[in-house]
Amino acid sequence: MATFRKCRMFVTPWMQCRHRGKINVKHPATHLERNILAAITKPIYPNRPDPAIINRCSVVQREARQATENLENLYEKFLIRECKKLLTEQNMVIVAQQLATPGRNQRVINVKLAKKNLSLHRFPNSVMLKAIEDTKWVNLKPLFCAKSIFIVGEEPRVADLMAIMKKTPELVILGGVVDNMILSRAGLARYAALPGLDLVQGELCSVLNGVANKTRRLLSSHQQQLAGNLDQYVKDQTVGEPQT
């Protein structure tokens, strides 16, 4: 029962107090609703099942595990086929490693590569190792040492790719395949420094034309010299004859 007593306080001269006994910690009071809820939610454990049922459950679990493994194997085979198709159809396959990159920067990298007709792919290293096994690309195995990405293109745009990599520190090039040749990072840098194919073809055509012209001059020089000698002989004979 609440009573009031006088005390010395600055705020108010009266304060409310409630007098009650000590709380029984060992045997606290319970409520009817709480007891009903505990009785309703009390778990009911079944008796030990029959061993045949246990064995049947283990068989079912084993079959489900085998089905999952078979499904994973089919997906892995599909990825292996895609990797082999990538290596055979694309003229440039670059292996690189990607550092921690925010999603916004990743989109910027994809846009830069797409402008140069390049694309970025991701495959597990286990899949790539199985794809290059017993093939001419087996020497690429040392490159698959960590989480790798693959930059592919139908044309060997190595110079454009190296220019993009200079402005993209999140990507580290390890090596790759260009025109059916396995190149390291230094080899790719040397390949990018080479002149364009059109320029090289023009230089080759000029060299071949020069050689052809020289060969034509050498072959016709004897005939020209003989014709000149005959002309001079005729002139000498004409000058030496007496006039009538």
Asked if the structure places residue 150 within a domain, the reply is yes
What's the Cα-to-Cα distance from 97 to each of 144, 165, 172, 217, rounded to whole Å?
A: 9, 12, 5, 58
- Which domain covers residue 120, as residue numbers? 71-193
Tell me how many domains the chain contains: 1
> What CA–CA distance (Å, rounded) separates 148 from 128?
10
Asked if the structure places residue 124 within a domain, the reply is yes
| pLDDT tens for each residue of 133-183 | 888 888 888 888 778 888 888 888 888 888 888 888 888 888 888 888 888
Q: Which pLDDT score is estimated for 90?
A: 83
Asked if the structure places residue 208 within a domain, the reply is no
Ranges in the chain, pLDDT < 50: 1-2, 4, 244
Give the 3-state secondary structure of residue 237.
Answer: helix
Q: What CATH number corresponds to the domain at position 81?
A: 3.30.70.1730
Q: Which pLDDT score is estimated for 121?
A: 86
Asked if the structure places residue 64 within a domain, the reply is no
Asked if the structure places residue 105 within a domain, the reply is yes
Asked if the structure places residue 57 within a domain, the reply is no
Q: Which pLDDT score is estimated for 21?
A: 60
Asked if the structure places residue 213 within a domain, the reply is no
Amino acid present at 76 = E
Q: Got the DSSP string for 77-120?
A: HHHHHHHHHHHHH-SEEEEEEE----HHHHHHHHHHHHHTTEEE
